[in-house]
Chains A and B, each alone.
Chain A
Amino acid sequence: MAVTARKGSQFRAAVLFLIPASIGFVVFFAWPAVRGLFLSFTDYNLLRPPVFVGFENYIKIWSDPVFWNSLRVTLEYVVINVGVQTAAALVLAVLMQRFTRTMVVRGVIMLPYLIANVIVALVWYWLADYNLGIINAALDFFGIHKIGFFGNQNIAMVTIAMVNVWRHLGYTSLLLFAGLQAIPRDVYEAAEVDGAGEWRVFRSVTLPLLRPVLAFVLVVTVVGSFQVFDTIAVTTKGGPVDATRAINYYIYQRAFERLDFGYASALAVILMIILAGVALLQNKLLRANESDLER
């Protein structure tokens, strides 16, 4: 009897403790999600009430070349960004594990990640400026042709991907470093006894044991990099031509430059489905939750 009475009182307390968070959840997460889904089936320009149009937005998107292009350049960005970033972060994490124990290195490489996207984008926009940026000035000094890092449509997306590699490298390698630290030390002792070299240790010991962490990092970074926006917004604004109009930037433009909220919502729904699919697929492919250590 006493026990049930206490349970009852804890339920009431739980409700009270959850009131503010529940307001936030319902009003700013759940309701907008439902409303966003609804708006994707409407024609809505903010000024007049939304008009239900069924699947019209989705049908239009299917034959919208700008959408397909945005998907293509987004994928290009994701592949370059995540590919380079993961490889470099892995190398850096191993370097930190094998050659130093100081916190200073980890503090320094974290720095870019803590600086705003907007600042990072601006600093690199200046470094890579065609006329006066130090990179092109140095190229010019050595007699090499200058490069239009942000102005050349074949290079612009690569540049943006690399700028964000610079920003996320330290963060990603810290995550991987933490995974490395969790690998039992005796495995390395055994490898040493066997006389394994640097590369062999990496390939046969470090990499297989790191796989669960690597899978986690890949899911997080791929999903994050699909949503690139800030860097594009302050540098190329989707140009030159369509070269950097990534999906998130296209959604923004449809909604706020053309006030086409219905269409933009439908694009957002599609993006969400793509992201969910990517996350599921990655989890399957990488068997994220298993470790080779346990087998």
Chain B
Amino acid sequence: MKDTALLSAPLQVQDLTVSYGGDPVLTGADLTVPEGEMTAIIGPNGAGKSTLLKSALGLVKPLSGTITAWDQPLAAQRDRIAYVPQRASVDWDFPTTVLEVALMGLYRQLGLLRRTRPHHRDKALACLDRVGMSDLADRQIGQLSGGQQQRVFLARALAQEAELYLLDEPFAGVDAATEAAIITVLHGLRDAGKTVLCVHHDLSTVPRYFDHVCLLNRHTVAQGPTATTFTDANLMRTYDGRLPTAA
């Protein structure tokens, strides 16, 4: 059972080394994301968590290593993968609305010249509704709270109807209500057979939220089911011998 899961893994990263010009950020990192589960990448600051995620999205070019999605090159599977970037990575004073951001998720259907039709709008609105944001569809994005911004990003990913969702710190700086709303949506995706991978930093919620973990500190320290992998011993090795108090 485990072997077949590995064979058709939605995401498989092997022996990945990445550098931004200086010392490598990742050296020989491995990651296997099992189908239909919630996986977390955890590790200290500067461990290369976001870099691993961005490599898995094809946004960062690695020095060496292989990345496959469902046993195929990444580029061939792009449309089955949805990305939720870090909230802080964009300028929220950008002149656009909540609905317009959600509509970006439908870019593949809209393309260059096609007009936005009512059924596109309806779909984007339905996705906003799943994250509790449909009432604010016409609002300028600069007027949103951090949690609301995060929900809009999630709605945009939902509009893609992907099978693998990669989220970079989706719970960073959001309120408790948003965190609950997001985790409900993510667990709903998992229960519908989709696969979810999050870069995550709050160790206290790992056992409750995630089925599978990858402990990272420039290389993969351990990965596997949360129950057997998320142990004090592994965490000590990941966090350089200093266990964070939250665990």
Bind each other: no
Chain B interface (Cβ < 8 Å from any Cβ of A): none
Chain A interface (Cβ < 8 Å from any Cβ of B): none
